[in-house]
Structure 1
């Protein structure tokens, strides 16, 4: 027995989405290049990529539903069942896990009474373990609707979700103010982000992120007693016995065969050929 076709959006919803879809498709020289933004668009409507959303994207781009489904199931940011108003992602990759991410994830699930990729009964919070957020210098990291909450503990995360469920204002560690999961999906589709602080340079790179750059420039790091470390390539010398809190000489960039013309690399046994 053939599968029944997915239901369509209500006429007024479809008409609105078609206007948005036309704008998104018009940004690309090849229509199917707009598939990822269109998936975010339908996710912004329903809180996940439903069969109805897949059918809509396929019709707008003259693709099969199988082609759209293949993409929607490949990328983890597209959910296959409704997300909560606030989607909480706990990084469980190596560094975050070592520093407590696994414990945060376990205690958060127990606190909310849900498992991975599930949503609380009130529809407020969904939970997902996620891979690296490229914020290892702030580990362990939790994201709420893709906004950063750095240096978390099990207690701080449980308080975070309790505040969200109670309707309290919650401020990310850096970046813009929180908005709902659906609102975030619409921003990711490519529509204007009108939140206060959406363009906030102060959240782009804090002290942990910039430490390596400051060391390379010979600048002083906070808490090092004024000591400086300069790369030998810049004509300065690293102290042989650095003081406490100052990186050792082995932390400075070293010459390698690729960067040192006096010691070129060559395949073993090729000398003299």
Structure 2
């Protein structure tokens, strides 16, 4: 995907640091991830080392540096989720999808990320797929959740 960086220059004509996160978010929203080219462009535009841009982006769970799957799975490992067997659910997702944390399936359908907290402690353990939350997810439910998305994809 080719990014039209001129559009970002027009939208954010000043290179004050308060615009840095906004530009990174918009680039990721447009492309699905922050590419090396995007990090380099932002670095040059803000006159900051690429390592600073990368360091900032890695601080936030929102940003990713490789393409996400069509269905991005986030599994919470916050305290409430950990107390209710989130680790076993994480391992089951890894087993079923045959990928590890931060990876995308070969067909590009699923990506998987363990996150510190999804802010839904009352429904722990919680899984978020794109913008849909699943509550009280146990390892025995993982196959049916994945099959649900496979069926959606086949019917499109």
TM range (shorter): 0.7 to 0.9
Give the whole-Å Cα distance in 1 for the aligned partners of 2:105 and 2:96. 11
Relative contact order (alpha carbons < 8 A, sep ≥ 6): 1 or 2 greater?
Answer: 2
State the Cα distance separating 1:39 from its structure 2 match.
1.3
Give the whole-Å Cα distance in 1 for the aligned partners of 2:117 and 2:17. 28
Tell me if 1:153 matches 2:141: no
| Superposition pairs of residues 114-133 of structure 1, within 5 angstroms | 114-133=99-118
Give the whole-Å Cα distance in 2 for the aligned partners of 1:18 and 1:167. 37
Give the whole-Å Cα distance in 2 for the aligned partners of 1:90 and 1:145. 11
CA deviation map 1:115-172 (0-9, x unaligned): 1111111101111111122211111111123542222222333322222233259xxx
In structure 1, the residue matched to 2:10 is 22
In structure 2, the residue matched to 1:59 is 44
Structure 1 residues not aligned, in runs of 5+: 1-8, 170-273
RMSD: 2.4
| Superposition pairs of residues 29-48 of structure 1, within 5 angstroms | 31-48=16-33
Structure 2 residues not aligned, in runs of 5+: none
Structure with the higher strand share, 1 or 2: 2
Structure with the higher helix share, 1 or 2: 2
Whose radius of gyration is greater, 1 or 2? 1
| Superposition pairs of residues 134-213 of structure 1, within 5 angstroms | 134-167=119-152
Aligned residues: 154
Tell me if 1:90 matches 2:75: yes
**Residues 107 and 154 in structure 1, CA contact (< 8 A), matched pair in contact too:** yes
Task: Indicate how the Cα distance of structure 1 residues 50 and 30 shifts in structure 2: closer, same or farther if over 3 A, else same.
Answer: closer
